[in-house]
């Protein structure tokens, strides 16, 4: 019994890491996430690694169930939300660009 509870505690910490990594956003619909979904279901050989877990809302996680991610996404009209979109690092506007250092536009 103790082994089961320690697994639950480890998964809870892993779930919180996944949710924080994905900015608490469902990777399937873009809504608020509160669960970690296994990309490859545990019954199909998946594990609890960060690479196999994504943030999901309860509705998407329940709808996906044990289906492979590609099958689930093929059944829904909602496109997958990429982690780059969710990342606070990539949501800022780049300060450098092709016109950096120019005093006026090229067409002026």
As a three-state string, the secondary structure of the chain is: CHHHHHHHHHHHHHHHHHHHHCCCECCCCCCECCEEEECCCHHHCCCCCHHHEEEECHHHHHHHCCCCHHHHHHCCCCCCCCHHHHCCCCCCCCCCCCCCCCCCCCCC
Percent over 70 (pLDDT), the chain: 65
Q: pLDDT band for position 95 (50/70/90)?
A: very low
Q: Where do the domains of the chain lie?
A: 22-80
22-80: CATH topology is: DNA Binding (I), subunit A (1.10.30)
* 58-91 pLDDT tens trace: 999 998 887 777 777 776 655 556 555 444 444 4
Residue 47 pLDDT: 93
């Amino acid at each position: 019994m103790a082994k089961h509870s320690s697994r639950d505690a480890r998964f809870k910490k892993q779930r919180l890491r996944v949710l924080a990594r994905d900015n608490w956003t469902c990777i399937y619909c873009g809504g608020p996430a509160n669960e970690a979904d296994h990309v490859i279901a545990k019954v199909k050989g998946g594990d609890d690694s960060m690479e196999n877990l994504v943030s999901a809302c309860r509705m998407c996680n329940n709808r996906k169930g044990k289906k492979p991610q590609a099958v689930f996404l093929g059944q829904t009209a909602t496109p997958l939300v990429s982690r780059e979109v969710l990342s606070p690092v990539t949501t800022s506007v780049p300060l450098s660009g092709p016109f950096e250092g120019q005093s006026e536009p090229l067409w002026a």
